[in-house]
């Protein structure tokens, strides 16, 4: 116990995480009557809230989104199941991609020809893919959340001085009060990412399972650290910037599954424009403030360089993602329409995506755009929130 306490104290040394001459007691709740500091103990709240988010998601998908999808003619049927074969199943579990060496070895173990094994393998891989209706429901749920989160973030931040002048993120730091609106914004955002992390184990397992899992964990870690270090002002700006474009990304996929091709193409254009404005327009302004304006206002400390480096890294990923987005959009409209399954990450960090949603939205891993005109896989090109994210 003494060793663990010593390691904890060393890790959380204020020399790393706080400005010079500042201790954890200085920013503890109640330390100053005029400031309502962030309380690290509040980070426990997103866990039970995530359970509520998961229940809300599955309730909406089952009783509202799925009926809507079926009414639009979206297929809910799953592909034919592969015949039970323990030897092939064991080989598939070990490695889902079938190469010639494995194929030849399997023909010696089972009473099947190479063609029959290949057919079994295709059926087995198809079983791991969610139906179009399931993807429609998942994307609709994320679209609903991102729409809510962006609107709520704008409403909460509208009267905040740092929303209009980013330099206010640094004035008075670390003694900055956390208002109730910002508290809920952070807690709900973290509960959403906790729900994504947990629901990955309940949903149909995707090929980007571990990339998205790492994205969600990193996003949660960065949100938690920014909360502990009282960097909630710049954190709230990063959140609202990353939520905006994801609304239209999810909307694009929804329209594709519903076979509204013209609306899908329009949404893709809107998504591309909003992405460029928010990720390459407003977000670099945040980077400029954190890199140039912040050092002029407050003394620097090691944690500042850690967070700012991650923000800059995220901007680099945005530039890379923008290249792929423009490439996919160009290919799609050159062919006359966008085809194929689409799914973001976000993230990535990635996104997330996935993201980053928040500060580390998604992973930069990409697949090559198919060479066949008119069939770009936007899912593979835009993995990360990410998300974000």
Q: What is the pLDDT of residues 77-126, one digit of tens each?
A: 766 777 888 888 888 888 777 888 888 888 888 888 888 888 888 887 77
Residue pointed to by tokens 């909630």: 232
Instruction: Show the DSSP H helices in the chain as ranges.
Output: 2-11, 14-17, 46-60, 66-71, 86-94, 100-107, 114-127, 132-157, 161-164, 180-199, 209-228, 232-257, 261-277, 283-288, 294-297, 302-335, 378-381
| Residue 153 tokens, joined | 């973030």
State how many domains the chain has: 2
The C-alpha atoms of residue 215 and residue 210 are separated, in whole angstroms, by 8
Q: How far apart are CA 351 and CA 314, in angstroms?
A: 11
What is the distance between the alpha carbons of residues 271 and 256, in angstroms, rounded to a whole number? 14
Asked if residue 334 has pLDDT above 90, the reply is no
284 CB burial (10 A radius; 0-12, 13-18, 19+): middle
Residue 236 lies in a domain: yes
Same structural domain, 110 and 167: no
Range of the domain at 235: 133-381
- The verdict on 115 and 152 lying in the same domain is no
In terms of domains, do 195 and 270 share one?
A: yes
Task: State yes or no: cis peptide before 353, omega within 30 of 0.
Answer: yes
Kindly state whether residues 99 and 193 are assigned to the same domain.
no
What is d(CA 22, CA 18) in angstroms, rounded to the nearest whole number? 6
Domain final residue, candidates 128, 160, 186: 128
124 with 197, same domain? no
271 and 347 within one domain: yes
Which range, 126-140, 205-219, 247-261, is most confident? 247-261
Q: Cα Rg for the chain, rounded, in angstroms?
A: 23
- Mark whether 237 and 169 lie in a shared domain: yes
User: Model confidence at 279, in pLDDT bands (50, 70, 90)?
Assistant: very high
Residues 117 and 149 in one domain: no
Considering the domain boundaries, does residue 187 fall inside one? yes
What tens digit of pLDDT does each residue of 290-299 get?
999 999 999 9
Section 23-29 average pLDDT: 92
Q: Is residue 389 part of a domain?
A: no
Per-residue model confidence (pLDDT) at position 343: 37
Q: Do 173 and 260 fall within a single domain? A: yes
Residue 211 counted as domain residue: yes
Domain containing 112 — which CATH number? Answer: 1.10.10
């Amino acid at each position: 116990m003494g060793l663990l306490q010593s390691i904890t104290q060393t890790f959380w040394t204020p020399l790393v995480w706080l400005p010079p001459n500042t201790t954890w007691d200085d920013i503890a709740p109640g330390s100053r009557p005029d400031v309502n500091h962030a309380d690290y103990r509040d980070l426990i709240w997103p866990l039970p809230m995530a359970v509520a988010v998961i229940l809300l998601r599955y309730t909406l998908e089952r009783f509202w989104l799925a009926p809507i999808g079926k009414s639009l003619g979206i297929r809910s049927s799953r592909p034919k199941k592969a015949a039970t074969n323990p030897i092939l199943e064991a080989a598939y579990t070990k490695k889902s991609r079938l190469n010639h060496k494995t194929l030849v070895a399997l023909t010696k173990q089972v009473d099947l020809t190479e063609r029959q094994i290949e057919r079994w393998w295709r059926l087995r891989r198809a079983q791991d893919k969610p139906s179009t209706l399931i993807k429609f429901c998942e994307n609709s749920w994320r679209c609903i959340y991102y729409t809510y989160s962006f609107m709520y973030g704008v409403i909460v931040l509208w009267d905040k001085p740092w929303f209009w002048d980013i330099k206010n993120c640094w004035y008075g730091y670390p003694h900055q009060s956390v208002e109730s609106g910002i508290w809920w914004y952070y807690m709900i955002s973290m509960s959403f990412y906790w729900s994504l992390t947990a629901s990955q184990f309940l949903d149909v397992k995707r090929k980007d399972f571990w990339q998205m899992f790492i994205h969600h964990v990193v996003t949660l870690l960065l949100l938690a650290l920014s909360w502990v270090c009282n960097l909630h002002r710049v954190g709230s700006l990063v959140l609202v910037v990353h939520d905006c474009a994801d609304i239209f990304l999810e909307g694009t996929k929804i329209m594709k599954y519903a076979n509204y091709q013209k609306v899908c193409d329009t949404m893709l254009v809107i998504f591309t424009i909003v992405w460029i404005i928010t990720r390459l327009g407003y977000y670099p302004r945040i980077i400029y403030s954190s890199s140039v304006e912040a050092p002029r206002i407050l003394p620097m400390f090691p944690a500042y360089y850690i967070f700012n480096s991650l923000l800059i890294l995220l901007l680099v990923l945005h530039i890379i993602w923008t290249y792929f987005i423009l490439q996919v959009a160009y290919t799609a409209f050159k062919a006359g329409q966008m085809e194929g399954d689409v799914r973001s990450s976000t993230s990535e960090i990635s996104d997330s995506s996935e993201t980053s949603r928040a500060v580390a939205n998604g992973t930069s891993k990409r697949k090559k755009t198919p060479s066949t005109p008119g069939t770009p896989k936007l899912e593979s090109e835009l993995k990360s929130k990410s998300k974000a994210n």
